[in-house]
Amino acid sequence: MDPLGTSGFTTAVVFGSTRNVYHFNGLASPPADQGGLQFDTTGLIGANNYSVEIVFSLDDRNNAWRRVTDSLDRTSDNGLYIDPSNHLDVFPVGGTSDTFTPSTFFDIFVTVDSSDNIVGYFSGVQQFTLNSTVLDVQTHFLSFFLDNTVGGGQGEWSQGNVALIKVFNTALSAGEVARETEDPFAGTTTPEPSSWLLMLGGAACLGIRKLRKA
């Protein structure tokens, strides 16, 4: 999603290594001018049985609400944010006390299971467990870094860079998350033979792979 034509691939230092990243740019207001990413999950994940890993940085609007993911087709203020205290926050339910630093890459992992349990991680370390339908996929789109276009709380957006997005069609366990986040760029080690990994990373590499037993 690049309505102003100002986004594109560049390089950045991510966890000590220079990598290709996607820089998303635009304007916070109106929301139609925000840059970000949108993923059509049709036939790939369940509404409330999936996991997402994102390695990203946000460059501006420190100490303000900034959308990370939206599963409600941009029709609601509810979703996953970095909040004004710079914490990962599932609005309006709750979040973590660990601090997200602007212009710094973080590895964030969120799992959603069929009982609507939401578990959030920073770099493989569990931060919170919540129970809510806030992150259920309403129809079939997952949006990244794009705020709602209708309703209240619009314009909660920041430009930034994303180095990696992985989407799994199951709620990974804490042990599986820890293995994935040891080196998020090294591939997958999760022993889930029926799971699928969808990954965006590097120079516009978009693919789907079946996870095999380790």
Specify if 186 maps to a domain. yes
- 192 has pLDDT over 70: no
106 located within any domain = yes
Q: Is 121 a member of any domain?
A: yes
Is 2 a member of any domain? Answer: no
pTM, rounded to two decimals: 0.87
pLDDT of residue 173: 94
The band of 181, judged by pLDDT with boundaries at 50, 70 and 90, is: very high
Q: How far apart are CA 70 and CA 148, in angstroms?
A: 8
- Per-position DSSP letters for 141-179, written without gaps between them: EEEES---SSSSSTT----EEEEEEEEESS---HHHHHH
How many separate domains does the chain show?
Answer: 1
On whether residue 1 sits in a domain, the answer given is no
- pLDDT value of residue 99: 87
| pLDDT per residue as tens digits for the range 72-104 | 999 999 999 999 999 999 999 988 878 888 899
**Is 74 domain-assigned?**
yes
pLDDT at 191 over 50: no
Give long-range contacts, CB 8 A cutoff, 24+ apart: 86-92: 86/62, 88/120, 88/122, 88/127, 88/128, 90/118, 90/120, 90/128, 90/130, 90/132, 90/134, 90/135, 91/65, 91/134, 92/134
Look up the domain containing 177 and give its range: 8-210
* Domain-located, residue 76: yes
Residue 185, domain CATH: 2.60.120.200
The per-residue pLDDT for 187 is 59
User: What are 19-52's pLDDT values in tens digits?
Assistant: 999 999 999 999 999 999 999 998 888 899 999 9
